[in-house]
Amino acid sequence: MNFLFTTNKAVFKNQKGFTLMEILAVLLIIAVVLSFAVPAYRSMRYEHYNGLAKAGVKKISEAMRSFYQNTKGYRITGSFSGISMPAISACNDVAASGIPSSAGGDQLIDQLFACGYLNYNDFVGLPYKFTACPSPACNGRPFAVAQGEAGAGTKYAYSAGYLIFLDDHLRVTDTLDD
């Protein structure tokens, strides 16, 4: 190291590096930017899941309609969560009535996946529970509902009263739509 000696003080020539204050200032700026970015990212992720759930409700209703037409009137009911993969044996386990013999008299929505009416990849990882309701309760038309589970965000949680469903015109809507 080269030193300049002036009045009993050593002064470095060609100082390199950052001072502690400069490093702290940069860290403070990064922390402020992150404090704005993280909530915005979280909100965008919930909005994305919500959009996928709305598309899923529409796909379920269309798959129910196709199943009804292809099986000459047999209807699907039941629930599933996009977190776990449904059983794929239901399509091969069909009784003469068109209802899976293992379903105990109630057709399961899993059969829509098993028979190729729905693609599991469209629902995997979504924090929603999807339900297909029976025809008497739905006025004879295909009907599906999605309700938020853990991970859907407080705004879209079922405990907050949030549901995604088909309206009277078979359009996907939710309880937050005006």
Residue ranges per structural domain of the chain: 18-174
* pLDDT for the residue 108: 67
* pLDDT for the residue 24: 95
- The answer to whether the CB of 172 falls within 8 A of the CB of 62 is no
Does the pTM exceed 0.95? no
Asked if the model's pLDDT at residue 105 lies above 50, the reply is no
Residue among 68, 64, 165, 81 at smallest CA distance from 123: 81
* pLDDT for the residue 158: 85
Asked if the model's pLDDT at residue 78 lies above 60, the reply is yes
With tokens 């407080």, the residue in question is 154
* pLDDT for the residue 98: 55
Q: pLDDT higher for 32 or 108?
A: 32
* pLDDT for the residue 148: 87
Q: What is the rounded average pLDDT of the residues 46-67? A: 88
Q: pLDDT higher for 99 or 129?
A: 129
* pLDDT for the residue 87: 58
Could you give the CA distance from residue 23 to residue 31 in angstroms, rounded to a whole number? 12
User: Which of 22-36, 42-56, 88-102, 157-171 bottoms out in mean pLDDT, i.e. has the lowest?
Assistant: 88-102
Could you give the CA distance from residue 52 to residue 46 in angstroms, rounded to a whole number? 10
As a whole-number percent, the residues of the chain with pLDDT over 90 amount to 9
